[in-house]
Amino acid sequence: MVPTSYFLVLSAILFGLGVIAFIFKRNILTIFMSIELMLNAVNLAFVSFSRLLGQLQGQVFVFFVIVVAAAEAAVGLAIIILIHRNRGTLNVEKVDSLKD
């Protein structure tokens, strides 16, 4: 079988790539996708620990994370549509009215 640490290393790499995407991307939709990537990395760690400890609670938490991600995607995408309607852009650098 595959050692658990392999899965945890992969989870850490995916989370880090999600953080990098969150910081470097300029399109608000892609930033949102990088949040989903980080949630997926956390789910992988949950499932690995659930398997290692022989307890199913980890998988139950994965379902709750997926539900929260779905709710977040619905509300977040509605906000993105609103931003696009009001400002005509998806670039986060142009959505800076709180700065002035």
By CB under 8 A, name the binding residues for other proteins. Answer: 1-10, 12-14, 16-18, 20-21, 23-27, 29-30, 32-34, 36-37, 40, 43-44, 47-48, 50-52, 54, 56-57, 59-60, 62-64, 66-75, 77-82, 84, 90-91, 93
Contact 41, 14 (CB under 8 A): yes
CB of 31 to other proteins, least distance (A): 10
Residues 6+ apart with CB under 8 A from 11: 41, 42, 44, 45, 48
Closer of 10 and 95 to other proteins (Cβ)? 10
Distance between CA 9 and CA 13 in Å, rounded? 6
